[in-house]
């Protein structure tokens, strides 16, 4: 055996993962596996994505308490939000990569959302520059790798927010929570484009539409269902492949019935 081989190499550089138990007004609601940072952003974004809250100010208090195997997030929400909470029968135990585990019915997994206005997709003029700025924004990925990132971009393509997590849905929730906390009742967020470094699935479409984004950029291919849902709600999807030009999926200046659309796994719907 090679003498340089280490049976117990250091692990400090590896990404962290911990169990986060979410309690809402004393009701146990979910247990998620997360990277233990930006926890208040995660809590706000998670509850928003669950349609329990609509604004940051719907949350009155967040208490975070360490436990033996992770930590407990105790959230207090407004009384008017309790109805939305009580109408849900979900008790979620989520794996790291899971977005809809624990949902009891298909209609809960694919709820009807408000249709967004049709907008022109963001113009990505310098793909390589954007990729480099994405890499520069991922501080944890530079240290440990094996972690997803979600980023917020302005209409001009400037990156103004980044959140990272071992779970891609968690990273997305952290980003949404961060942006909601920065948005006041009189000022809308400057981020109309969201970006995910991982694959784009239907659950991420749900989160982006709820947030009201115009564009969702993905560094990995979207699923067929993700594209169909995005077009149904007028969310522009931009896939940036590793070695080729961006692929746009958009209703902008297009005339077709999405319900009759037949997609192949590598089909393109170009603006």
Neighbours of 36 (CB within 10 A): 17
C-alpha 213 chain-centroid distance: 12
d(CA 141, CA 84): 36
Angle of CA points 16, 168, 15, to nearest 5°: 15
Q: Which residue is associated with the tokens 């280490």?
A: 6
22, 29 in Cβ contact below 8 A? yes
Q: Smallest Cα–Cα separation from 116: which of 203, 193, 196, 223?
A: 193
Q: And the tokens for 189? A: 């967020």
**Alpha-carbon gap, residue 219 to 243, rounded angstroms:** 11
**8 Å CB contact between 123 and 146:** no
Per annotation, catalytic residue among 98, 162, 191, 200:
98
Q: How far apart are CA 168 and CA 199, in angstroms?
A: 9
User: What is the rounded radius of gyration, in angstroms, for the C-alpha atoms of the chain?
Assistant: 19
Catalytic status, residue 98: yes
Which residues are part of the catalytic machinery?
Answer: 98
């Amino acid at each position: 055996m090679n003498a340089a081989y280490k049976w117990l190499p250091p692990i400090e550089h590896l990404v962290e993962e911990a169990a986060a138990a979410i309690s809402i007004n004393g009701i146990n609601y979910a247990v998620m596996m997360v990277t233990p940072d930006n926890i208040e952003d995660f809590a706000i974004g998670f509850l928003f994505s669950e349609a329990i809250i609509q604004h940051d100010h719907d949350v009155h208090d967040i208490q975070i308490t360490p436990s033996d195997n992770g930590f407990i997030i105790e959230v207090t929400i407004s009384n008017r939000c309790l109805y939305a909470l009580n109408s849900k029968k979900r008790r979620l135990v989520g794996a790291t990569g899971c977005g809809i585990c624990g949902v009891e019915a298909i209609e809960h997994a694919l709820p009807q959302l408000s249709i967004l206005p049709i907008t022109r997709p963001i113009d990505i003029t310098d793909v390589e520059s954007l990729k480099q700025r994405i890499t520069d924004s991922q501080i944890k990925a530079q240290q440990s790798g094996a972690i997803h990132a979600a980023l917020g971009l302005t209409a001009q393509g400037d990156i103004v927010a980044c959140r990272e997590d071992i779970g891609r849905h968690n990273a997305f929730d952290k980003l949404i929570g961060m942006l909601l906390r920065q948005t006041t009742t009189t000022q809308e967020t400057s981020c109309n484009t969201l970006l995910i470094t991982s694959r784009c699935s239907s659950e991420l479409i749900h989160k982006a539409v709820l947030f009201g984004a115009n564009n969702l950029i993905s560094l990995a291919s979207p699923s067929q269902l993700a594209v169909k849902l995005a077009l149904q709600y007028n969310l522009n999807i931009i896939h940036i492949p590793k070695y080729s030009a961006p692929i746009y999926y958009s209703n902008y200046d297009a005339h077709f019935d999405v319900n009759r659309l037949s997609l192949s796994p590598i089909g393109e719907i170009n603006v």
